[in-house]
Amino acid sequence: MAERRVRSAPAASVESGRIDAVSARLVGLRYPWWRLAIGGLVFAATAVFAASQGSVDIPFGSVVGVVLSRLPWFELPADAKPTWNTILWELRLPRVVLAAIVGAALAMSGAAYQGLFKNPLADPYLVGVASGAGLGATIVLLTGVPLFLGGFNLLPVAAFAGGISAVAVAYSIARNSQGTPLTTLILAGVAISALAGAVSSLLMIRSDPELRPVLSWLLGSFISAEWSESGVVLVYIVPSLAVILGFARILNVLQLREDHASMLGVDVEKVKALLVVAATLATSAAVSFNGLIGFVGLIAPHTVRMIWGVDYRFILPMSGIVGATFLVLADLVARTVASPAELPVGVVTAFCGAPFFLYILRRRRAGVV
Amino acid sequence: MAKLLKMAVALGAAMAIAACGGVPPDAPQAPGAPAPAAAPAQPISPDAGSPPAEAQPPLPAEPAAPPLPPEPPTPPPSPTPTPTGRQAAGMDTTSIPATFPVTVMSADGREVVFEEPPERIVAFDSAVVEILFAIGEGERVAATHAFVSYPPETAEIPRVGDAFNMDIEAIVELEPDLVYVFFPTFLEDLDRAGLKALYIPSLSQDFRKVADNIRLWGEIVGSPNEAEQVARDFEGRVEAVVESMEPFGQGLSVFQDVGGFWTPGRGTLVQEVFDLLKLENIAYDIEGYAQISPEVIVDKDPDVIITGSVEAIVGESALSGVRAVRNGAIYVPPTDALSIAGPRFVEGIERLAQWLYPGLFR
Amino acid sequence: MRQLADRVEAAGGNVRQDQDVEGAAGIEARDVWAGYGERQVIKGLNLRVERGSVTALTGPNGVGKSTLLRLLSGSLKPWRGTTRAAGADVSALSVRERARLVAVVPQNVDLPPGTAALEVVLMGRNPHMSLLSWESASDVDIAMEAMRVTDSDDLLDRRVDELSGGERQRVAIATALAQQTPVLLLDEPTANLDLAYQPAIMSLMRELASAGKTVVVAVHDLTLAGQFCDEVALMSEGAIHAVGSPEEALTEANIRKAYGADVTVLAHPSTGKPIVVNP
């Protein structure tokens, strides 16, 4: 015993250096704000670039001029066509903003699901949330259920009802007296996902022999993005994401076995329920207007995790930034690559996302990351 | 994803069903074009069909309309139909004898031989169902697919599938002596079930060939005279429109929305109709059907918009400055005639033409 | 010895034992009945553990040692009877209050891959932190001290998935120590340890007890239990069959009754503590 103490005492000064080394990932001690700041700048640059590109060519200078003309001190540039104002303010900017919000929401909910279910495959799609939310939204859109209640857009609420029902069913099926075995939960999620997806497709096919718009929705698209949609979506997403971020440190503790986490003072069942509700609400709101955009909730958090470690206090906000950037870029590709035609953004996220993700996986296996 | 892809493929087939969508609108001034004296396209509904006859939007007042174009050189009323001695049997203007056997090439390379007219036809295609009814042989249709809605008599006909599925069992049960399909997915299944199948892809180019299809079915079911009559009527009416439009140069620009900004571009039947009516499609750069970027609509500022839903267009705030919206030049086709490459297709053209150029077409 | 243990409690300058009622027993179970679903595991069990002592919980497999630990930690509610730790009824406490009173080192700890050892130990500070607060410098000091005490300080920046079973065990114990609770429960802490570390961990338990902690440790090895613990509680059929000093509890008769096995109990040549051998 005594020897141990002797040995450890002189080590103390060395240790502070090693704590620093840990703290690169040890967020509580020295949070890598600068990484978030750089991420934020990259996102901002991406967003500006995305706003400057489109199927209609507008010179970059005019883009800046037209955008700034909304501020009191700036005039509309002389060379600007009046349609540019509409294109930028009514079409492109709302799209970029909505894509960013949805990307951040899907990525952060994805990270939360992965943390909660301790399963790297858990994303809003796998646990049935997205399909459930999609079914909820489809029912409202295609049946006589009123869309507004006292001026309040109910679409996200319906999507949430569908999404949370899907999780609840999956959860109650998987639950037994010992806990919630993950494999069962995921299997139940997949089954419910398939069922909800099938019912949605059926409703859509029945309602519209002209199937193209249905396909767009299934693959996700921001083509009809409007400012008001961003507003509605934010009302649901901001509180949800705030809750998820607030529990980031607890999410770290939850990575322990549940009984262990509970011994460390985490009320596991309550926290899980709260976070599932929050993540589901965010996902549902994101899905309700724009259809099922896949892959963002899976690759953004994984990329962050593989490169920057395991602390949810960093994973969550960084996933949000990565998800927003990724989806803004994906939407840019969707609306320009086949110009003047558009692709569904879900196709782009899969096309760009899957190879990138495989590359990251490969690098990690090779020990590079 | 795989599921979606499969669906997309099936969609291709489904799309082929509905050859094309709507039609154009009433036109505000446009250089060098026949001045549209906007008049609400009246649903002169010859078809007892039930399509939503949407009310026309307010007419563009457009006082500045250029002088009306010369009163239309009245098209030669159709007594002498377009001559064209078509393929098939030698056609006497009066009577063509029904001759059997009739041999038809199926698109999958088989020869399908008819020793006698098929009595019970599963016609898996809107256009063919219409053709059979138009030549008075509708009672031969034993079954069809879920989206067929014209003529009204079809409401009674059993449905044996939709764009994705075909209920082979139900078809076998019906004991048809011909199953016609416009996409090849289920040919093998039909063969295996011992059914006589004929596959001819639906028209996606050259809508004038509708007349040929009419004659073909006339031969198959042994009513060549009726078919010839319907085919000539079709050709004559098309020709009349062509002649009316002849004096004019390219005119109004048009955007057609078939839902969610999906729009027909080059290589579609709709584009042919636009060409015929001297309309300039703002989606001409698109091949086939695709979703168009809304930016392009704002930028190209079409004179006329054709859509299934006025609200979908008017509700899009970004489009509020587009000329067609400002002028209320939004056309909602009163029937689905232009979506189906059958005998009514020409009626769709005529209605659109009337709406666009009321002074020109009766 | 005493000094070291004090440091664990004092590091960070703020010892939180407010719920610790003066004069109460460290741990007390009174007429406890419990089980899972229909299955009754604990049947009218009574146990009192003095504060500042180390008690070994032994008995054959499946007799309910782990269940009793869960009852004592408050994570399992008894059907009947009460369990108190440091004077408080644990089943009436919130999860968080419990975690400030009783720390548990579970059997076969699973630690999240990719995490550094120090990060895991810092999770032990969770019961003392509010939802939005982050680890302070004093939390790190406490965690570091806990690692030093468990001789795991040289692991601090190692990823836990790269550690050996014994190293992981020590990190888990450090995590429990970082909770700074008056009561510490350990479920088979020596199971994964090699010969040299078993006594080291057990003497650490002793050390902590002499600093005032109440320690209950479930162990299989009766000899180990006899060497290092103040008291040994021998369980049989869901109740305490015998309890007392090692010499009192670990008799050949008691062991035969609890385990149904014949053994020989010898006395350690220098300490006189019982050594249990087969047959």
Q: Tens of pLDDT along A113-126?
A: 989 888 777 777 77
Query: What is the pLDDT, as a whole number, of residue C12?
Result: 38
Q: Which chains are adjacent to chain B, needing at least 3 Cβ pairs under 8 Å?
A: A
Could you give the strand order of the β-sheet that contains B253-257, starting from the edge strand earlier in sequence? B280-281, B253-257, B304-307, B330-331
Neighbours of C162 (CB within 10 A): 12
In the beta sheet, which residues pair with residue B292?
A341
Non-local CB neighbours of B81 within 8 Å, separated by 6+ positions: B232, B233, B235, B236, B239
What pLDDT was estimated at residue C21? 52
Amino acid at A83: T
Our CA-based measurement puts residue C252 at a distance from the nearest CA of chain A, in whole angstroms, of 33
B317: nearest CA in chain A?
A90
The residue of C75, C148, C168, C186 whose CB has the most chain A CBs within 10 angstroms, and thus the best one to mutate to test that interface, is: C148
pLDDT at A1 over 90: no
pLDDT tens, position by position, C23-76? 567 899 999 999 988 889 999 999 999 989 999 999 998 888 999 999 999 888
**CB B128 within 8 Å of CB B198:** no
Which chain A residues are within 8 Å of C151, Cβ to Cβ?
4
Which residues of chain A does C129 touch, with a Cβ-Cβ cutoff of 8 Å? 249
HEC profile of A300-318: HHHHHHHHHCCCHHHHHHH
Residue pairs spanning A and C at CB distance below 8 A: 114
* Integer Cα distance of A134 and B12 in angstroms: 24
At a CB cut-off of 8 Å and minimum separation 6, what does B304 contact? B24, B25, B26, B27, B28, B252, B253, B254, B255, B279, B324, B329, B330, B331, B356
Cross-strand bridge partners of residue B180: B123, B198
Percent of chain A clearing pLDDT 70 (strictly above): 82
Lowest average pLDDT, out of A109-123, A149-163, C100-114, goes to: A149-163
Quote the minimal CA–CA distance from C263 to chain A in Å. Answer: 33
- Put simply, the chain A residues between 236 and 265 with a CB less than 8 A from any chain C CB are 246-247, 249-250, 252-253, 255-257, 259-260, 262-265
Q: Within chain B, which residues score under 70 in pLDDT?
A: 1-94, 163-164, 362
B86: left (phi over 0), alpha (psi -120 to 50) or beta: beta
Q: Summarize pLDDT for A37-64 with one digit per residue, the tens.
A: 999 999 999 999 999 999 888 888 888 8
Kindly report the pTM of this predicted structure. 0.78
Q: Report the complex ipTM.
A: 0.86
Tokens of C196: 């040299």
Q: What pLDDT sits at residue B15?
A: 35
Chain B residues whose C-beta is within 8 A of a chain A C-beta are 1, 3-4, 7-8, 11, 14-15, 17-18, 21, 146-147, 162-164, 258-262, 265, 283, 285-286, 289-296, 298-299, 301, 308, 316-318, 321
**Distance (Å) from the alpha carbon of A320 to chain B's nearest alpha carbon:** 24
Q: Which two tokens stand for residue B136?
A: 């008075």
Taking an 8 Å cut-off on Cβ atoms, the answer to whether B296 and A56 are in contact is yes
* Cβ-defined contact of B293 to A54 (cutoff 8 Å): yes
Helix (H, G, I), strand (E, B) or coil at C11: coil
* A310 contacts C115? CB cut-off 8 A: yes
Contact A286, A348 (CB under 8 A): no
pLDDT digits (tens, 9 = 90+) for A256-284: 988 899 999 999 889 988 998 999 999 98
The answer to whether C and B touch (≥3 CB pairs < 8 Å) is no
Q: What is the mean pLDDT of the segment spanning A83-104?
A: 92
Q: Exposed (0-12), middle (13-18) or buried (19+): which is B69, by Cβ within 10 Å? A: middle
The predicted structure's pLDDT at residue B225: 93
Q: Taking a C-beta distance cutoff of 8 angstroms, is the pair B331, B355 a contact?
A: yes
Amino acid B37: pLDDT? 40
Residue type, A195: L
